[in-house]
Structure 1
Amino acid sequence: MILAAFRSLLYTLLQLIITPPYAIFTLACYPLPPHYRYQVTYGWTRIMLFLLRVICGLRYRVIGAENIPDRPSIILSKHQSAWETLALQQIFPPQVWVLKKELLRIPFFGWGLAMTNPIAIDRSSGKAALQQIVEQGRDRLQQNFWIVIFPEGTRVSPGQTVKYRIGGAWLAVHTGALVVPVAHNAGEFWGKNSFIKYAGTITVSIGKPIDPAGMEPGELNERVQAWIESEVARISRFGKTKPVGQFGSITNEPIEDTEK
């Protein structure tokens, strides 16, 4: 625990030192086309993942990489930690996120995030937000960007489930883009709102792409949630999840960690 705390402190200090000047450099790249700007901001992500690996001992492995389609798609991912907001950029092609517009106001981090051409929504606006997701989502897909959505809407601690928001499924049905479900157990190493980052190997599992043709958004959303939650239970070190709300618990045999 003491060693993990020291490593986490060192990582955080380096992040605080690196982020402000990198954000300023990123802002200077505003005149560049979106894909070039993305490559600049992705450079910061690579640095953070490198520091997590060499300082905190936090690695990852991917299973199901062969399921990644050869065209821009919609990634619907489990959200347990801050880790996946970094790692998904390294695992998948250039991408934009659907996110709360409030995040863009965070000094330095939010400024850099705004340079990635995100779909920033007001979640309280209901149908207007869904319309914005479809309009801007179609535009980003045409620009050859993938779209990342965390359907839980917020980070959810390991062992718990919540009802998935329908925005990602709605976008898929209205654009015809494939849906790629992603499960992982990052929260078991870097917990929700946690300062401590424990050494180990996170497992990321990529499911087979789902064609939304002929499906209703609710049906697609339920199918995605069923796969992600059962897969999270399978790869979890603890082998089970506990429900929050209406969903029943899922149990399965745990999978052992292996170093990448």
Structure 2
Amino acid sequence: MAFIRSVLHLLLMAVTVIPYTLALLAARFGGARKETVYAIARAWLALSVHSAGPLLGIRPRVTGMEHLPTDPRQGVVLLCKHQSTYETFLMPAIMPRPLAYVFKKELLKIPFFGWSIGSLDMVHIDRSQGSRAFAKVLQQGRKLLEQGTWVIMFPEGTRVGRGEAGQYKSGGARLAVSAGVPVVPIAVTSARCWPKKPFTKRPGIVDVSVGPQIPSEGLTQEELMQKAQDWIEAEMRRLDPEAYPKEQ
């Protein structure tokens, strides 16, 4: 039954992404404001998240939203735990401000989905360019932050399994230090329901915990990232203690 429900949810996303993408492209090339274009993309992501409730039995439980900036001029870098595709859909759906992902350019080749994200204010990079690729992240990231768009990054770089911690990279912290903005760490327990690789999803609650802002002033990028990592991993153990071995 879980497999069938997973197939139905995938089909729903595959079918609905087409009209939403066409509407997004029409809005973009029709001269609509960028807020309107983003709202169309956000609506599809929200549909994917909300439909996971009745179809898959997966629902988010979000805490800590009071830690987010309320000043519309305040930029922030969100550093999020990455266990599955679920949080990539969820974050724009729940955040009160437009988000810009930093992603590899290969995603632009995916029909409809790639065309959509390529039409938004996002930062796509060519990893083969090495240091030049990250120079683009800094340049475009600072510009977006100045415009009031929040930049979201997965510091582990890729999805990690339940109870695991990847190697945290300091790119997001480097951007925050460069732009003089705080970071907000986010813990997500999506792997309890939406595993890293298996197709079949399991019903349950995905906890999302938004942590306190960590100012970047006076810190190196390594120090800032370490503070974010310490908070995220400690919070993951609090939210999902069954996934971690008990300390002796």
TM-score range, shorter chain: over 0.9
Note the alpha carbon deviations across 1:101-139, whole angstroms, 9 max, x for none: 111111111111112211111223232222211110111
The CA distance in 1 between the partners of 2:113 and 2:56, in whole Å, is 21
- Percent of residue pairs bearing the same amino acid type: 37
Note the alpha carbon deviations across 1:50-83, whole angstroms, 9 max, x for none: 2101211110111212111123311000000100
Larger helix fraction of residues? 2
Task: After TM superposition, list the pairs within 5 Å mapping 1:1-260 onto structure 2.
Answer: 3-30=1-28, 31-70=31-70, 71-92=74-95, 93-236=97-240, 238-240=242-244
Query: When the two structures are superposed, what TM-score results if normalisation uses the length of structure 1?
Result: 0.88
Note the alpha carbon deviations across 1:227-256, whole angstroms, 9 max, x for none: 111111111151416xxxxxxxx859xxxx
The CA distance in 1 between the partners of 2:244 and 2:208, in whole Å, is 16
Q: Which amino acid aligns with 2:20?
A: Y
| Equivalent pair of 1:234/1:240 in contact (CA under 8 Å) | no
The CA distance in 1 between the partners of 2:126 and 2:203, in whole Å, is 36
| Equivalent pair of 1:57/1:198 in contact (CA under 8 Å) | yes
CA positional deviation for 1:193: 2.6
The CA distance in 2 between the partners of 1:160 and 1:41, in whole Å, is 31
Note the alpha carbon deviations across 1:179-223, whole angstroms, 9 max, x for none: 000001001100113321211111111110010001111111111
Aligned to 1:244: none
Give structure 1 stretches of 5+ with no counterpart.
242-249, 253-260
| Equivalent pair of 1:72/1:146 in contact (CA under 8 Å) | yes
CA positional deviation for 1:44: 0.6
Task: Note closer, same or farther for the CA distance 1:10–1:16 as it changes in structure 2 (3 Å cut).
Answer: same
Give structure 2 stretches of 5+ with no counterpart.
none
| Equivalent pair of 1:185/1:236 in contact (CA under 8 Å) | yes
| Equivalent pair of 1:41/1:115 in contact (CA under 8 Å) | no
| Equivalent pair of 1:234/1:251 in contact (CA under 8 Å) | no
Q: Which amino acid aligns with 1:198?
A: R
Please, what is the CA RMSD of the aligned residues?
1.6
SS at match of 1:96: strand
Q: Which moved more, 1:10-19 or 1:146-155?
A: 10-19
Query: When the two structures are superposed, what TM-score results if normalisation uses the length of structure 2?
Result: 0.92
Q: Which amino acid aligns with 2:57?
A: G
Aligned to 1:245: none
| Equivalent pair of 1:41/1:112 in contact (CA under 8 Å) | yes
Corresponding pairs, count: 242
Task: Note closer, same or farther for the CA distance 1:159–1:239 as it changes in structure 2 (3 Å cut).
Answer: closer
The CA distance in 1 between the partners of 2:119 and 2:247, in whole Å, is 41
The CA distance in 2 between the partners of 1:81 and 1:66, in whole Å, is 25
| Equivalent pair of 1:11/1:55 in contact (CA under 8 Å) | yes
